[in-house]
Structure 1
Amino acid sequence: MQIRAISTPRNKDEARLLHAQHQLRARVFSDRMGWDVQVSDGCERDRFDELQPTYILGISDAARMIGCARLLPALGPTMLADVFPSLLPHGRLAAHSSMIESSRFCVDTALEERGAGGSVHEATLAMFAGIIEWSIANNFTEIVTVTDLRFERILSRVGWRLRRLGEPRNIGNTVAVTGILSADADTFIKLRPPSYHSQISGPFGQAA
């Protein structure tokens, strides 16, 4: 599995990968989870995709899109501040220049069924490591996110503790919670699976 970070696509291959992650988001968030999201022509997008986010992409050895996440600076418009302020103390996020928001995180749970060369657990860890590696390389020390209680337990099990900013609340058909995750070298090394490989240019000796 390879981790790549793409913002504005520079060529046809990167445009194809971004299209594939929008398709994965539609399959996960609309088809599987039943979220009320905007899907058009098999792709899930929203207004935050128009803000030139960075996408962390997990790509299998067979060139299949198996994981994605969207990163936006927390000082700008974010899902948390603009869509889910009810999850924040006093309805506002104490953002700073070293904080990034992660949203639309997903991993293709059909990975093992398709025999795509890995496991859901390994892909999830690789995506975590990729988010941390990119954050460190770009001088972000904290990752703020909205998630659900099930995913919070996954984070806890792998040793990446979510520091809650507020109490869980019902949002649609999900019990959601918001919190902050640390982005540091020790956490990256702890979470990185043995098969991890990225094209992120950063402090860990991997070239873009």
Structure 2
Amino acid sequence: MQILTISPDGYVEHQNLLNQMYRLRADVFGGRLEWNVTVVNGGERDQYDDLNPTYILATFDGDKVVGCARLLPALGPTMLERTFPRLLADGSLNATPAMIESSRFCVDTTLPAGRGEGQLHLATLTMFAGIIEWSMANGYDKIVTATDLRFERILNRAGWPMSRLGEPVPIGNTVAIAGALPADQESFKTVRPSNYWSTLSSAAGLSGRSAA
């Protein structure tokens, strides 16, 4: 399993992987979690995919997408401020240039790769490490996100606790929460699986255990 980052200039080259990502999002958010999302031709997309985000993908055997997240600068537009402002204590994110928003995080937990450290799925820990590594490499030290109480517990189990930005709010069939996560070396080392590998690490000439 490895981490691949896809920025706007790589959309065409990696269109097959992006299509897999949209299908995974449809399976997880529209299928398993039954969220109110738009699924077209088997894939889930929304207006934030039109803002040239960077995608973090976890891939298995080089060509199967097993995890994904979408990253956009928190200076906006962001999902937190435009779609979920009620999750924020004062309705505003109070963003800084060193803040990135992560959204549409999901993993394929049916993958036979098994569980990682702390019995969290290896794909989950690999994605956490990939998001932190990319954020640090691009000058961001804080990751903000809208998630739910279940995922907040997963973050705690991974040793990467989230600082809440507001109170939990029932939305649809879940209880949502906004929070901020540190993007730093300590967090990266805590969540990183022992066999972690990413295109960023490779480009820097670093091994998985000394990446970023």
TM-score w.r.t. length of structure 2? 0.90
Residue aligned with 1:111, SS = coil
How far is the alpha carbon of 1:15 from its aligned partner? 1.1
CA distance in 1, matches of 2:37, 2:72: 19
- 1:136 is aligned to 136
- Is 1:10 aligned with 2:20? no
Identical-pair percentage:
56
CA distance in 1, matches of 2:141, 2:11: 30
Contact 2:17 2:63 in 1 (8 A): no
Change (3 A) 1:204 1:91: farther
Q: CA RMSD in A?
A: 1.8
Contact 1:137 1:203 in 2 (8 A): no
CA distance in 2, matches of 1:135, 1:90: 26
- 1:205 is aligned to 206
CA distance in 2, matches of 1:64, 1:77: 30
- 2:125 is aligned to 125
- 2:103 is aligned to 103
- 1:85 is aligned to 85
Unaligned runs of 5+ in 2: none
CA distance in 2, matches of 1:133, 1:204: 14
- CA deviation digits over 1:170-200, x for unaligned, max 9? 0111101101000001111111101211002
Residue aligned with 2:76, SS = coil
- 2:56 is aligned to 56
Residue aligned with 1:131, SS = helix
Change (3 A) 1:29 1:12: same
Change (3 A) 1:40 1:9: farther
CA distance in 1, matches of 2:190, 2:167: 28
CA distance in 2, matches of 1:203, 1:165: 34
Contact 1:9 1:15 in 2 (8 A): no
CA distance in 1, matches of 2:161, 2:146: 14
CA distance in 1, matches of 2:27, 2:189: 31
Contact 2:144 2:180 in 1 (8 A): yes
> Structure 2: which amino acid aligns with 1:174?
T
Contact 1:147 1:177 in 2 (8 A): yes
- Is 1:39 aligned with 2:39? yes
CA distance in 1, matches of 2:79, 2:161: 21
CA distance in 2, matches of 1:183, 1:32: 29
CA distance in 2, matches of 1:51, 1:104: 14
> Structure 2: which amino acid aligns with 1:48?
Y
CA distance in 2, matches of 1:85, 1:109: 30
> Structure 1: which amino acid aligns with 2:32?
R
Q: Paired residues, what number?
A: 203
CA distance in 1, matches of 2:162, 2:155: 7
Change (3 A) 1:200 1:22: same
CA distance in 2, matches of 1:161, 1:175: 18
How far is the alpha carbon of 1:10 from its aligned partner? 3.2
